Amino acid sequence: MIASSPNIHAASRPIIRQLDESAINRIAAGEVVERPASAVKELVENALDAGARRITVDYADGGKTLIRVSDDGCGMTPDDLPLALSRHATSKIDGTDLLNIHSFGFRGEALPSLGAVGRLTITSRTTETDGATITVAGGRMDAVRPAALSHGTVVELRDLFYATPARLKFMRTDRAEAQAIAEVIKRLALAEPEVGFTLRDVSGGDGRVMFRADPASGDFFDALHGRVSSVLGRDFADNALAIDAVRDGLRLVGYAALPTYSRGSSAAQYLFVNGRPVQDRLLFGALRAAYMDVLSRDRHPAAVLNIECDPQSVDVNVHPAKSEVRFRDPALARALIVSALRHALAEAGHRASSTVGAETLGAFQPEPGAPARVYQMDRPSAGAIGRAFAYQAPAPHSPLISGFAEMPTARVEDAAPLDAMARPLGAARAQVHENYIIAQTVDGMVIVDQHAAHERLVYERLKAQRDATGITAQALLIPEIIELSPSDTARLLDIAPELAKLGLVIEGFGGAAIAVREVPAILGRVDAAALLRDILDDIADLGNSDRLQGRIDAVLSRMACHGSVRSGRQMRAEEMNALLREMEATPLSGQCNHGRPTYVELKLADIEKLFGRR
């Protein structure tokens, strides 16, 4: 027996009713206010739209019992307060143009939605009027009353979702909700570096400061660099590249980290459109594509990037929480991110993350129970060092001499000239374990993984040859016919010219079928049907596909691995120095094809600290 539909009532015809204002506001709150962090986002964005320069956010019990946002913005008059709590009442737009939006908020839903599900109190004062306050609880609004306030606005939300207790069952722990609030504040702090933010947990009454970011000064990049340091840490700021690129009316600005400063998740990716934090698949996909050639699949780049554009060219009214946007030309936005980041990474040359050296130093652990530090006198002169070494050298026929010569894992070269040591990667001085080159610089030393470094160099040469001569295509003796849906066939035929440049030649075969005529020769045997379906999945998810390009690059990477200097091969001094000079001249040589560093740089001052000399 088939159960009847719960939406069909045979007894009577459904009656259409007009919902009351309270029900409408609670429904709207379900879209706008998902959790305490959503309420914080809406209130802080209102403060930013009011021109606030300093914003303080207090919360208790993860925001479930109290959220209070105080700002020094323009404030509201007593007459404005009841209107601000009405649905679709806003000062951000006049309703004539929903594309020309220059503010965070514009729907006029946040305050009435919060008042419908919690106990909301707004206290505000402008420079021309006295302070006033208004309270709304569960959708019931009280009268406006006078209040004492110096300037700005204080919005206090207590007992969130008390009017809709079922929503409380879906709340996470206080700790998890507090972390979500902190993440919202950090994103908005990165969007507005010239605004000061303070986040406090007042659950115990002591008002512990959980996050603080003072207003940054200077030009845009100086201010953003300072804010990035305070929000994401000094390591990110020290290992990030400044991005400033323009294409056809779109500008991309911000900072993107070096590939060797990659992360295990996408948590360190902050993307904005006209200063608005967004969680947009198109933009995150473009960021991933930009690093595709320098990171393995299990690593994620770190970046803080903002796309500036004419508001008319992007629609922010496609999601209730305004977390997604729709570009008029999405391909242009994606191409801007990919090209700008790849250019910046190439310009970085052989540079690798400074944290690599710090992690190397951290791996050196002193022996347990080591003797107390012995403070040495100042370093002697070069002449004194030379005489000391000569005095300490073994006799010409000492058995130690033959003992050194027989060591298979280390070879020491003659002293390098000063001009070679002045180069970024220094001059080769030794090779240890037939895989690691030790180079001396003016103020330290460099340890190079010869196989990983040469693998990247060969890979870059192969890519340059591919770009110069193109991808050789292998014609199939019998074309492979693949049946697809009409929509999928249309999508593939739209990008057929781009696929042909990569050696994959397809054409329509009548109806919804695709004929594969040629495949990239470098890939060998290809499952054309699986490849085309993977490309279609990428297009459906991201609007574009780098699948074929990625497969070709993977083959080139494997070829580079097999054609590079192998671990265990002894290299002459001139070979080692030639490798160092080529690394300095080759883009992306600071990391291998999988994103791992190719060298570690240690400063002499840090090395001396290990031995208690400083």
> Which range among 191-195, 336-340, 407-411, 582-586 shows the weakest confidence by mean pLDDT?
407-411
**Of all helices (H) and strands (E), which one includes residue 270?**
strand 269-273
Within the chain, which residue ranges are assigned CATH 3.30.230.10? 220-348
Predicted local distance difference test score (pLDDT) of residue 98: 52
Predicted confidence at residue 71, as pLDDT, reads: 93
- In the prediction, which pLDDT does 397 show? 47
Tell me the average pLDDT across 24-53: 81
CATH 3.30.565.10 residue ranges for the chain: 21-94+101-211
pLDDT tens readout for residues 153-208: 999 999 888 877 777 778 889 999 999 999 999 999 999 999 999 999 998 777 89
CATH of domain 220-348: 3.30.230.10
**In the prediction, which pLDDT does 398 show?**
42
Confidence category of residue 366, pLDDT binned at 50, 70, 90: low
The full 3-state SS of 460-505, as one line of letters, equals HHHHHHHHHHCCCEEEEEEEEEEECCHHHHHHHHHCHHHHHHCCCE
What is residue 407's predicted lDDT score, i.e. its pLDDT?
39
pLDDT above 80 (res 515): yes
pLDDT of residue 469: 79
**Residue predicted with more confidence, 323 or 263:** 263
The confidence score (pLDDT) of residue 400 equals 38
**In this model, does residue 426 exceed pLDDT 60?**
yes
Say whether pLDDT at 147 is over 80.
yes
- Which is more confidently placed, 402 or 349? 349
pLDDT at 31: 62
Measured CA distances, 63 to 26, 40, 190 (Å): 19, 9, 22
pLDDT in tens, 54-78: 999 999 999 999 999 999 998 999 9
User: What sign does the dihedral 90-93-99-103 (CA atoms) show?
Assistant: negative
pLDDT of 404 > 50? The answer is: no
- Supply the DSSP string of 66-105, one letter for each residue: EEEEEE-S----TTHHHHHTSTT--SS--SS-SS---SS-
pLDDT at position 393, please?
A: 46
| Banded model confidence at residue 611, pLDDT cuts 50, 70, 90 | confident
- Which CA distances in Å does 330 have to 232, 286, 341, 356? 29, 10, 17, 36
Residues of the chain within CATH 3.30.1540.20 domain(s) are 354-366+373-614
Across all residues in the chain, what is the average pLDDT?
A: 80
**Is the pLDDT assigned to residue 107 strictly greater than 80?**
no
Indicate left, alpha or beta for 89 from its phi (over 0: left) and psi (-120 to 50: alpha): beta
More reliable by pLDDT, 337 or 386: 337
Nearest 5°: CA angle at 502, between 339 and 560?
Answer: 80
pLDDT digits (tens, 9 = 90+) for 311-353: 888 887 666 666 778 888 888 999 999 999 999 988 887 777 7
pLDDT at 115: 83
Is pLDDT at 423 greater than 70 in this prediction? Answer: yes
Q: In terms of pLDDT, which residue wins out, 210 or 321?
A: 210
| Class in CATH terms, 354-366+373-614 | alpha beta
Q: The pTM is what?
A: 0.73
pLDDT of residue 401: 37
Residue 75 Ramachandran class (φ > 0 left, ψ -120 to 50 alpha, else beta): left
> Which of 372-381, 474-483, 550-559 is modeled with the greatest confidence?
474-483
Question: Could you identify the residue written with the tokens 């010569």?
Answer: 405
The CATH class given to the 21-94+101-211 domain equals alpha beta
pLDDT value at position 88?
A: 63
Backbone angles phi, psi at 468, to 5 degrees: -80, -40
